[in-house]
Every structure is written in structure tokens, then in C-alpha cells.
């Protein structure tokens, strides 16, 4: 229901005309830009809830197996590069900061700042994926990639065997599936950021109309939150002392 | 309809004004997030026994709340949005909780073979 | 912004004809690139009807095969593929979209006084996503189909099956997103786009049931998506999360699968219940009994439905304690459904009942859904489920709910809202005949299956002991009658589009905002955004001449 109570005459009069230059931004099913903005915002939050359940299914499976095989999961976790993982966490948190600043720039109608922060966010996102790629390469080199070349050597093999080789491979499955799915969401996010960036450069956004930037921000922060949990759950299992 | 009775129209709570968060707030939260990320990594290298995991999860939870409340403007959002988000987390908890009930109660009866964490599977 | 808009590219209609959503534009591009929720509803109507008849054809083949205890038609491997594909197509491509995608899309904006859904382009995308998933599944059907059962249990589906698991899994995965996006659209629309005065408790109960359904779609379908995703990865890479060789548990697949698939059955039945809540007051000329109770029951069903999935796993290795928990919860979830049945019955009491086709379907629904629901209690009890699980008792139980319930609700909705959708009346005599044929055919098909299951005939078997032949033949005879019964409406609905009498705005004298528009409605639904001041189902007022 609309949040304003319309006067009787207002209800039967045509809706107060939106400013000429804004008219093309208002979709026909909405009464005004405020309703459109609220609707877009609610829409992205509902979508994020579906993403919680989507990733959540894998988190649930992970939780089950971790509670069943703690030793194997610890061993698997130690095979990961915690240094690069920590750096990546900082990178992603920084990109969340720049994204929040981008939304703020849109709200305050600062086009140049908006463009700058969007570009920074994208660069940090690309950096994250690059570091991830380096990690994956390292894991391939260490031969801990399930199905592809799972044949760990030396110290890694010793640690894996303590908890059960199969179960350590199970952990590695989770590692690749969960970070892979996360990386896929990052790639989608980068593509969407590009679209928002191009629109921003054309000067489409203003303090009255910045919903797409806000929606983009919410998605990006959500992907960051997923990583906030992936990092300790995958890289820091049981401690690294 | 001659003259509809608009006194029956309900008024929801007025929507909050779009809140512009000050830069200072963002910077402080960002600094806190980086510190917490560093903290969780550092703590992992310290032997705290069974507390390593709960501490790491607690730090992750705090980071998530900072991002949610400030970066994602949940502090300034409507009640509906908060209910929607809570529902998401609650449903995930249902999934994990009820499935865990199964796995952890399997060993309460001697047969069939228990899914214990230490013994490897012994079926032929 | 509130006037009916005619796109400049449309040909002007002949003088004297009213512009409505059907004739506002012509040409296939105006349909395939439409964002009008009513046209998208019709796109869905055509697609799901096609899938219904494909799934139905598979059922016909199965019933012909089962005339003979040794199997009359196909090899056992093929029979496995028949029941699998029948299940997948009927569930994912017919039942789950049916009422929400056709009637939800058409009616939700109209019932709340809006011009369209919150996200019209997302709505169109939902249809394309649905069709893409459907194409993957059809590819699989053509190339030999899948034989894992619609439940895809591992490790057979992930490791040992030689059939087209990946294309079908991909099809189901993709179509799931159609469901998610539709549910998202409905939730946001209902929250944010109700007309002035349209408070939650003035919305029709159909809207409440669509809202509850959307909650399930949005919260449950993503879990199915990730589960199918993991299944696909496991099959492609020969390693994965459900592999016992690695310490994985096939039962985890079942947990994740049923976490969605049990609420999914409520996705299938809740909208049908909403339809019944619309039809009964109209054809009993009486306000619905217990509006708020029905509304809250809908939401309660949506929530409770997520707590009972373990009753599909009583005999597959779940712990007995978990089984106890799920059994108790399964009994509880029956309560809101029963409350609804009592409320509908109370609405009928001292009502002025007319037996038009929609009412016949609604009455049939109440009886058959009740039977299906009661037999569900046998299955919710641990001890009886041990005997009945995996038998035809289960098959009969869910067909009573899904066909006797959901499909009857769907047909009731078709007949009730057809005048609004097409502007034409269907032939009432033929409609009543078809309803009777369907009711008779349905019971002849599925009642014997209760007996078969109770006597011990297993499901998903291509052959059976000779003593079960009589009941199987009865069931197959019923299936042929049921098939004929479904063809009759197909024919007369098409017929009515050209030769049916023109329907006015409100041929049933029903309450509700959708009946205040012309039939068919204009593209923007309402010339002015209505202001709502009345409670719903004001039939008593109508009778007293106050409205």
C-alpha cells in the first residue's frame, strides 16, 4: 500500500507529473520515483535472501561433513594458502568500501567521484580474481585438485592421510566448489558493475534517481559477506599453529 | 462510488528519508573491518584449542553485521527489509539444524552402523 | 500515467472496437517481447498446456504397459524412463508453474488495483528461463530420457546411470530460476503496489495463497538449485559431495533434495486452495467463513511445510529420532489444511449454491483433497509408512492431492476466469460433462491404486504379481477416461475463442477488483487507480442490494 494517504481529489486527479527529464526514468507501473526506488530495493533484498539459501545449501553440506570429519577438514585447510586468502579478504573488504562510497557519490550527485569509486571497485574485484587464480594454480601444482590431479605428495600427503585421504579430498571438493561459485558471482558482479559504470559516465544518475547503483552495491556487499564466511571456514579450520 | 470513505485508509509508517552516511562513518567501519580480518588471521596462528573456531566465526559475524548495517544501510532500512533478511537467515538455520539432528542422533542407537567421526567406515 | 496507453506502432483498431490487451498490438514480436503481465500469463498457459499433454502421454504409455503383469508395452529400462520423465515434466514444467504463472501473473496486479507487476521485464525473463529449461528437458526426452526417478537419488544418478541425467538436471536447474523470479516478483508486488485502501485483510484469499506460495518458491527453490548443481558436478567430474568412496553420504542428497521438494508440493496445492477460496463464496453467494483464519493458515502452511521433509526418508537410513521429529511435525502441517476444508464447508452451509463448472471443480477438489490429505496421515506415521512406503499407496496419495486437488483447482480457475481472460463464455453443458468425466475417470484410475499399495504392489516396477492385474486394469481403464476428460475442455476453450458468447465484465456476479474491468481487460487494467473501501466477498451485501 502506498505510504502516503492521498487526498480524495488527488486520487482521481492525474498523478502529479514527474519532471520532464525524469519522466523516462519512471516505469509505467509505478506512481512515482519513490515507490519505484522502494520496490527496487525490496526486490534486491528478496533476491539476496534467495542467494543466502543458494549458498546456504553448500554451507549446510559443509557444516555436516565438518562436524563428522574434523581432522580431515583441518588437514585440508592447511593445504590452502592462508597468506593469499587473507590478502584477498582485505582486497574484497576494500572493494566493499569503495562500493559504499560509490553509492554515496550517487546519492550526493557527484558524477566524477561515482565513476572513480566504481572503477576502483572493479579493479579490486579483478585483483581478487587474479589472486584467486594464483591460488588455484598453486593448488594444481600441489596436486590437490579433486578429479583433475588429486595425488598429493610429501607433507601434504601425510597430513591428508591422518584424517582419511578420501575425506580430505571431500574438503578440497568443497573448497573448489564454494570458492568457484563465489568467483562466478564476482564475475557476474563485475559485468554488472561495468553496465552501471557506463550509465554513470553518461550522467544518468542523480540524487533523485540512483537506485541501480544502490542495488548494485547491495549485491556486491553480499558477495563480500559470503567471502567473510568462506575465509575462516575454509582457510582457518581448527587453527594453523 | 459517490464519496469513498478515505478515513478508513491506513497509513503505514512514513518511509525513512534516504540517509546519506557520512564519509567518516564509512572510513571507521572500513578500518574496523580490516582490523578484524587481520585479527582473525592472527588468532588462527595461536593455539586456543576448541576456541579457535568459535572465535573465528564470532569475528566473521561481527564483520558481517558491520557490512550489513552500515555499508548495506540496514540501520536505515524499513522494518520489512529487516524481516525479509531475518527470514533468510532463519530458514538457513532450519536447514542446517534439522539436518544436523539426523546426523548426530544416528549414533544414539547401536544399529545401523553409526556415522562416527573417528572410525572409518567398516561396511564390506 | 493512469490513462490507457496505446503504443504508437500498433495499427488503430477498427472503429467501434474497444482496445484491450489482446488486440492492443498484433504480430508475434508483440507477444514474444511483451511486458504485459496478462500476455505473459497466456504465454505460460500455452507452454504448460503443451507440457501437460507430453507428461500425460507418458502416463498413458505407463498405464497401457501395466495392463499386463509382465508388462505389455516396453522394456523395464524404458519403463523406468517413462515414470521418471512423467514425474519431472508434470512436477517441474506443469504443476509448479501452473496456477501461479498463469493465474497469478494474470490476476495479482488486477486484484490489488495495479497496472502491472513490480518487475514486468523480469516477468518476461521468467518465461524465457522456463522455456529454456523446458528445451533442455525435451532434448533429453528425445535422446532417450532419464531413468533415475524424478527424485534423482544418488549414487545412481551421479555415478551409475547411463541416461541423460545432465541435460535433465540442467533443465530443472534453469527452470528453478523461473520459479524464484516469479515468486520474487509476486512478493514485492503485493508488498509495494496495492491500491489505496487495499489493506492486507481486504485482499482476496487467492492473493494470500499466492503470497504464501511465493515465500516457498523464494526460500526453497535455491536449495534445489544448489543440490542439482552439486549433482551435476559430481556426475561430470566423477567426484563430489555425495560419493561414499570419499566419505560422502547419499542421504545428504536426499536431505537437500527434499528440503525443497516437500515445500514444492505446497507450491502446487496452495494456489489451488486459493482458487477454491474464490470460487466457493461466488457460487454459494455467501461471504467466506473465517477469512482471517484461512489467510493465516496459508502462511502457516508455507512455514510448516519446510519442517517436514524427513518424512520422505523414514526408511532410507535417517535416524529414528529425526524420524520422530519429522513425523510429529508432519501431523502438525495437516492442521491448517484441514482448517481450510472446514471453513469452505462452513461457507457452503446455508449458501445459495449453483452448480456451474467452476463450482463442480471446487466441490470435487474439497472431497478429493480431503481423501488425499487423510491418506497422508498414514504415511506420516512411522510404523505404517514402513509398510506403505515405496508402494502404490504413495502414488495414489500424491495423485489425489496433485490431480484430484491441484489439477481440479487449475481447471476450476480456467473456467472461472476464462470469461475475464478471453472475453468469451465457454459452453456450460460441455463443461459440466467434462467435469463429471474427469471426476469419474480420476477416481477409477487412482482409487484402485490405494488398494494395490495396501496389498503390497511396489511403485516404479515394470511388472507385478498376477493377482494385482484386475486392479491395474481398472486403473488403466480409468486413465483412458481421464485422458478423454482432459481433451474435452481443450476443444471447447478453443471453440469459445471464436464462437463463444461474448462475456460481460462480470458474468458470475463476483466480487473482486478484477471483475470491475471490462472482459478482456485493457492493457493497463484500470483507467484510474481504484480506491478500496470494502471488505472482500461482499456477497451478502450484494444480495441485499446494497452494492
User: pLDDT tens, C457-497?
Assistant: 999 999 999 999 999 999 999 999 999 999 999 999 999 99
Supply the DSSP string of C449-514, one letter for each residue.
HHHHHHHTPBSS-S---GGGHHHHHHHHHHHHHHHHHHHHHHHHHHHHHHHSPBP-S-TT---SGG
pLDDT for the residue C1: 39
pLDDT band, residue B84 (cuts 50/70/90): very high
Q: What distance in Å separates residue B69's CA from the closest CA in chain C? A: 22
Distance CA C137, CA C489 (A): 27
Residue C313 pLDDT greater than 50, yes or no: yes
Half-sphere exposure of A23 (CA within 13 A, CB side): 8
Q: For A24-77, how does the pLDDT look when each residue is reduced to its tens digit (9 = 90+)?
A: 888 889 988 889 999 999 999 999 999 999 999 999 999 999 999 999 999 999
- Is the residue at A145 inside a domain? yes
Residue B39 pLDDT greater than 90, yes or no: yes
Residue B119 pLDDT greater than 50, yes or no: yes
Q: What distance in Å separates residue B123's CA from the closest CA in chain A? A: 16
Chain A environment of B4 (Cβ under 8 Å): 8
pLDDT for the residue A32: 86
pLDDT for the residue B51: 87
Against chain C, the chains showing at least 3 CB pairs within 8 Å are A, B
Interface of C with A in 186-205 (CB under 8 A): 187-188, 191-199
Mean predicted confidence (pLDDT) in A153-162: 88
What proportion of chain C, given as a percentage, has pLDDT over 70? 97
Q: What distance in Å separates residue C219's CA from the closest CA in chain A? A: 6
B70 plus B101 within the same structural domain: no
Residue of C nearest to A44 (CA): C184
Nearest to A192, CA basis, from A125, A108, A92: A125
pLDDT band, residue C18 (cuts 50/70/90): confident
Q: Which domain covers residue B49, as residue numbers?
A: 20-76
Cβ-contact B15, A210 below 8 angstroms = no
Number of domains in chain B: 2
Q: What distance in Å separates residue B75's CA from the closest CA in chain C? A: 20
- Is the residue at A5 inside a domain? no
B70 plus B85 within the same structural domain: no
Nearest to C379, CA basis, from C326, C304, C319: C326
- Is the residue at B30 inside a domain? yes
Q: Which domain covers residue C109, as residue numbers?
A: 38-543
Chain C environment of A68 (Cβ under 8 Å): 247
CB contact under 8 A, B11 and A5: yes
CB contact under 8 A, B30 and A11: no
Number of domains in chain C: 1
pLDDT band, residue C37 (cuts 50/70/90): very high
Query: If you average pLDDT over every residue of chain C, what do you get?
Result: 93
pLDDT for the residue B59: 96
- Is the residue at C222 inside a domain? yes
Does any CB of chain C come closer than 8 Å to the CB of residue B79?
no
Distance CA A100, CA A103 (A): 5
Between the two ends of chain A, the Cα-to-Cα distance in Å is 57
Any idea how long chain A is? 241
Supply the DSSP string of C95-135, one letter for each residue.
ITTHHIIIIIHHHHHHHHT-SS-S-HHHHHHHHHHHHHHHH
Mean predicted confidence (pLDDT) in A76-91: 94
Cβ-contact A93, B33 below 8 angstroms = yes
Residue B94 pLDDT greater than 80, yes or no: yes
Residue A148 pLDDT greater than 90, yes or no: no
Does any CB of chain C come closer than 8 Å to the CB of residue B92?
no
Cα→Cα distances C510→A98, C116, C195, C428, C537, Å: 55, 22, 19, 17, 8
> Which of B6, B102, B122 has the most C C-beta neighbours within 10 Å, making it the best mutation to test the interface with C?
B102
Cα→Cα distances C213→A71, C96, C185, C288, C415, Å: 42, 10, 12, 21, 22
In this structure, the number of other CB atoms found within 10 A of the CB of residue B93 comes to 12
pLDDT for the residue B19: 80
pLDDT band, residue B111 (cuts 50/70/90): low
Q: Which domain covers residue A49, as residue numbers?
A: 33-235
Residue C15 vs residue C70, higher pLDDT: C70
Cβ-contact C194, C287 below 8 angstroms = no
Most confident of the following: A139-143, A226-230, C9-13: A226-230
ipTM of the complex: 0.92
CB contact under 8 A, B60 and A229: yes
Cα→Cα distances C136→C38, C158, C168, C169, C220, Å: 26, 18, 6, 9, 22
Distance CA C5, CA C24 (A): 9
Residue B114 pLDDT greater than 60, yes or no: no
- Is the residue at A23 inside a domain? no
For C82, list phi and psi in degrees, rounded to 5.
-60, -50
Interface of C with A in 393-412 (CB under 8 A): none
Chain C environment of A166 (Cβ under 8 Å): 245-247
C-alpha A199: how far from chain center = 21
Q: For C489-524, how does the pLDDT look when each residue is reduced to its tens digit (9 = 90+)?
A: 999 999 999 999 999 999 999 999 999 999 899 998
Mean predicted confidence (pLDDT) in C191-216: 96
Against chain A, the chains showing at least 3 CB pairs within 8 Å are B, C
pLDDT for the residue B116: 60
- Is the residue at B2 inside a domain? no
- Give me C87's grid cell: 514425474
Q: What distance in Å separates residue B73's CA from the closest CA in chain C? A: 19
Does any CB of chain A come closer than 8 Å to the CB of residue C239?
yes
Residue B8 pLDDT greater than 70, yes or no: no
pLDDT band, residue A21 (cuts 50/70/90): low
- Is the residue at B24 inside a domain? yes
pLDDT for the residue A231: 96
Interface of B with C in 12-71 (CB under 8 A): none
Against chain B, the chains showing at least 3 CB pairs within 8 Å are A, C
Q: What distance in Å separates residue B8's CA from the closest CA in chain A? A: 10
CB contact under 8 A, B46 and A224: no
Residue C276 pLDDT greater than 60, yes or no: yes
Q: Examine residue B112 and say whether the peptide bond preceding it is cis (omega within 30 degrees of 0).
A: yes
Q: What distance in Å separates residue C243's CA from the closest CA in chain B? A: 13
- Is the residue at B35 inside a domain? yes
B69 plus B91 within the same structural domain: no
CB contact under 8 A, C531 and B121: no
Task: Assign residue A225 the CATH number of its domain.
Answer: 1.20.120.80
CB contact under 8 A, A97 and B117: no
- Give me C271's grid cell: 494456489
Q: Which of B9, B95, B121 sits opposite C196 (nearest CB)?
A: B9
Q: What distance in Å separates residue A54's CA from the closest CA in chain C? A: 5
Mean predicted confidence (pLDDT) in C120-141: 96
B60 plus B96 within the same structural domain: no
Number of domains in chain A: 1
Mean predicted confidence (pLDDT) in C54-58: 96
B68 plus B89 within the same structural domain: no
Inter-chain CB pairs, A–C, below 8 Å: 129
Mean predicted confidence (pLDDT) in C93-122: 96
Residue B123 pLDDT greater than 70, yes or no: no
pLDDT for the residue B3: 37
Q: Which of B41, B60, B77 sits opposite A228 (nearest CB)?
A: B60
pTM of the full predicted structure? 0.91
B32 plus B63 within the same structural domain: yes
Interface of C with A in 105-134 (CB under 8 A): 109, 114-120
Chain B environment of A64 (Cβ under 8 Å): 99-100, 103
- Is the residue at B53 inside a domain? yes
Q: What distance in Å separates residue C214's CA from the closest CA in chain B? A: 13
pLDDT for the residue A208: 85
Residue A189 vs residue C532, higher pLDDT: A189
Task: Assign residue C497 the CATH number of its domain.
Answer: 1.20.210.10
Residue of B nearest to C198 (CA): B9
Q: Which of C197, C247, C310 sits opposite B102 (nearest CB)?
A: C310
Helix (H, G, I), strand (E, B) or coil at C424: strand
CB contact under 8 A, C321 and B94: no
Residue B112 pLDDT greater than 70, yes or no: no
Mean predicted confidence (pLDDT) in C429-451: 97
CB contact under 8 A, B102 and C318: yes
Q: Which of A5, A34, A218 sits opposite B9 (nearest CB)?
A: A5
Residue B70 pLDDT greater than 70, yes or no: yes
Residue of C nearest to A56 (CA): C223
Helix (H, G, I), strand (E, B) or coil at C391: strand
Residue A11 vs residue C64, higher pLDDT: C64
Amino acid at each position: 500500500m502506498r505510504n502516503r494517504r492521498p487526498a480524495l481529489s488527488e486520487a482521481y486527479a492525474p498523478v502529479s507529473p514527474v519532471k520532464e527529464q525524469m519522466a523516462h526514468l519512471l516505469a509505467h507501473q509505478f506512481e512515482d520515483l519513490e515507490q519505484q526506488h522502494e520496490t527496487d530495493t525490496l526486490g534486491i533484498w528478496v533476491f539476496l535472501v534467495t542467494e543466502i539459501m543458494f549458498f546456504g545449501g553448500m554451507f549446510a553440506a559443509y557444516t555436516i561433513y565438518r562436524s563428522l570429519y574434523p581432522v580431515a577438514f583441518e588437514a585440508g585447510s592447511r593445504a590452502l594458502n592462508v597468506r593469499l586468502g587473507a590478502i584477498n579478504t582485505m582486497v574484497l573488504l576494500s572493494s566493499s568500501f569503495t562500493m559504499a562510497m560509490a553509492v554515496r557519490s550517487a546519492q550526493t550527485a557527484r558524477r566524477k567521484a561515482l565513476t572513480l569509486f566504481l572503477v576502483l571497485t572493479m579493479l579490486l574485484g579483478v585483483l581478487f580474481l587474479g589472486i584467486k587464480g594464483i591460488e588455484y594454480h598453486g593448488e594444481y601444482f600441489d596436486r590437490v585438485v579433486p578429479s583433475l590431479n588429486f595425488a598429493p605428495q610429501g607433507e601434504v600427503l601425510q597430513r591428508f592421510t591422518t584424517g582419511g585421504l578420501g575425506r580430505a579430498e571431500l574438503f578440497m571438493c568443497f573448497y573448489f566448489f564454494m570458492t568457484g561459485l563465489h568467483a562466478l558471482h564476482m564475475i557476474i558482479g563485475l559485468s554488472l558493475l561495468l553496465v552501471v559504470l557506463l550509465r554513470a559516465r553518461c550522467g544518468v544518475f542523480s540524487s533523485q534517481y540512483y537506485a541501480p547503483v544502490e542495488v548494485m552495491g547491495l549485491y556486491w556487499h553480499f558477495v563480500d559477506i559470503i567471502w567473510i564466511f568462506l575465509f575462516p571456514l575454509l582457510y582457518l579450520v581448527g587453527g594453523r599453529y | 462510488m459517490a464519496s469513498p470513505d478515505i478515513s478508513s485508509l491506513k497509513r503505514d509508517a512514513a518511509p525513512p528519508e534516504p540517509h546519506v552516511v557520512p564519509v567518516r562513518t564509512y572510513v571507521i567501519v572500513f578500518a574496523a573491518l580490516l582490523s578484524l580480518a587481520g585479527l582473525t588471521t592472527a588468532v588462527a596462528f595461536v593455539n586456543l584449542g576448541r576456541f579457535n573456531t568459535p572465535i573465528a566465526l564470532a569475528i566473521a559475524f561481527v564483520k558481517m553485521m558491520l557490512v550489513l548495517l552500515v555499508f548495506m544501510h540496514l540501520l536505515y532500512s524499513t522494518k520489512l527489509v529487516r524481516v525479509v533478511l531475518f527470514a533468510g537467515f532463519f530458514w538457513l538455520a532450519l536447514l542446517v539444524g534439522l539436518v544436523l539432528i539426523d546426523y548426530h542422533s544416528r549414533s544414539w542407537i547401536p544399529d545401523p552402523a553409526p556415522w562416527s567421526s573417528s572410525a572409518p567406515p567398516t561396511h564390506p | 500515467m493512469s490513462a490507457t496507453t496505446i503504443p504508437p506502432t500498433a495499427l488503430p483498431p477498427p472503429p467501434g472496437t474497444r482496445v484491450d490487451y489482446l488486440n492492443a498490438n498484433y504480430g508475434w514480436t508483440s507477444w514474444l517481447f511483451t511486458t504485459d503481465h496478462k500476455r505473459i500469463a497466456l504465454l505460460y498457459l500455452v507452454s504448460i498446456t503443451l507440457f501437460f499433454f507430453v507428461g500425460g502421454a507418458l502416463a498413458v504409455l505407463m498405464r497401457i504397459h501395466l495392463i499386463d503383469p509382465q508388462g505389455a508395452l516396453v522394456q523395464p529400462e524404458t519403463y523406468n524412463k517413462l515414470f521418471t520423465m512423467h514425474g519431472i515434466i508434470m512436477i517441474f514444467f506443469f504443476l509448479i508453474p501452473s496456477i501461479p504463472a498463469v493465474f497469478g501473473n494474470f490476476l495479482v496486479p488486477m486484484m490489488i488495483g495495479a497496472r502491472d507487476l513490480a518487475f514486468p521485464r523480469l516477468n518476461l525473463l521468467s518465461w524465457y528461463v522456463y522455456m529454456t529449461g523446458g528445451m533442455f528437458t525435451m532434448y533429453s526426452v528425445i535422446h532417450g530420457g532419464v531413468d533415475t526417478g524424478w527424485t534423482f537419488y544418488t549414487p545412481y544418478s551421479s555415478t551409475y546411470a547411463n541416461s541423460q541425467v545432465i541435460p535433465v538436471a540442467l533443465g530443472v536447474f534453469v527452470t528453478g530460476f523461473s520459479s524464484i523470479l516469479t515468486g520474487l516478483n509476486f512478493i514485492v508486488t503485493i508488498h509495494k503496489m496495492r491500491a489505496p485502501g487495499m489493506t492486507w485483510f481486504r485482499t482476496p484469499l487467492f492473493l494470500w495463497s499466492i503470497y504464501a506460495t511465493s515465500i516457498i518458491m523464494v526460500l526453497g527453490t535455491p536449495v534445489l538449485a544448489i543440490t542439482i548443481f552439486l549433482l551435476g558436478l559430481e556426475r561430470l567430474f566423477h567426484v563430489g559431495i555425495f560419493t561414499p568412496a570419499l566419505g560422502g553420504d547419499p542421504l545428504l542428497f536426499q536431505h537437500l533434495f527434499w528440503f525443497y521438494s516437500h515445500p514444492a508440493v505446497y507450491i502446487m496445492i496452495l494456489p489451488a486452495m486459493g482458487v477454491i477460496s474464490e470460487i466457493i463464496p461466488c457460487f454459494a453467494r455467501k461471504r467466506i467463513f473465517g477469512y482471517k483464519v484461512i489467510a493465516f493458515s496459508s502462511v502457516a502452511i508455507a512455514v510448516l511445510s519446510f519442517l517436514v521433509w524427513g518424512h520422505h526418508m523414514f526408511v532410507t537410513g535417517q535416524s529414528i529420532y529425526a524420524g520422530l521429529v519429522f513425523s510429529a511435525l508432519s501431523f502438525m502441517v495437516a492442521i491448517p489444511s484441514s482448517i481450510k476444508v472446514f471453513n469452505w464447508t462452513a461457507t457452503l452451509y446455508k449458501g445459495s449454491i449453483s452448480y456451474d463448472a467452476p463450482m463442480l471443480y471446487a466441490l470435487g477438489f474439497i472431497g478429493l483433497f480431503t481423501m488425499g490429505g487423510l491418506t497422508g496421515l498414514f504415511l506420516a506415521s512411522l510404523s505404517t509408512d514402513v509398510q506403505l512406503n515405496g508402494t502404490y499407496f504413495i502414488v495414489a496419495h500424491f495423485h489425489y492431492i496433485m490431480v484430484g486437488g491441484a489439477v481440479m483447482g487449475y481447471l476450476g480457475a480456467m473456467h472461472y476466469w476464462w470469461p475475464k481472460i478471453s472475453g468469451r463464455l465457454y459452453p456450460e453443458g460441455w463443461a459440466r460433462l467434462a467435469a463429471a468425466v474427469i471426476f469419474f475417470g480420476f477416481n477409477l484410475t487412482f482409487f484402485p491404486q490405494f488398494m494395490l499399495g495396501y496389498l503390497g504392489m511396489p511403485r516404479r516396477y515394470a511388472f507385478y504379481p498376477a493377482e494385482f492385474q484386475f486392479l491395474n486394469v481398472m486403473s488403466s481403464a480409468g486413465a483412458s477416461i481421464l485422458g478423454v476428460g482432459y481433451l474435452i475442455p481443450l476443444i471447447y476453450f478453443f471453440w469459445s475463442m471464436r464462437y463463444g458468447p461474448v462475456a460481460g465484465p462480470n458474468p458470475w456476479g463476483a466480487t473482486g477488483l478484477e471483475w470491475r474491468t471490462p472482459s478482456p481487460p485493457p492493457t493497463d487494467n484500470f483507467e484510474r487507480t481504484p480506491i478500496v473501501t470494502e471488505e472482500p466477498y461482499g456477497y451478502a451485501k450484494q444480495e441485499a442490494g446494497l452494492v
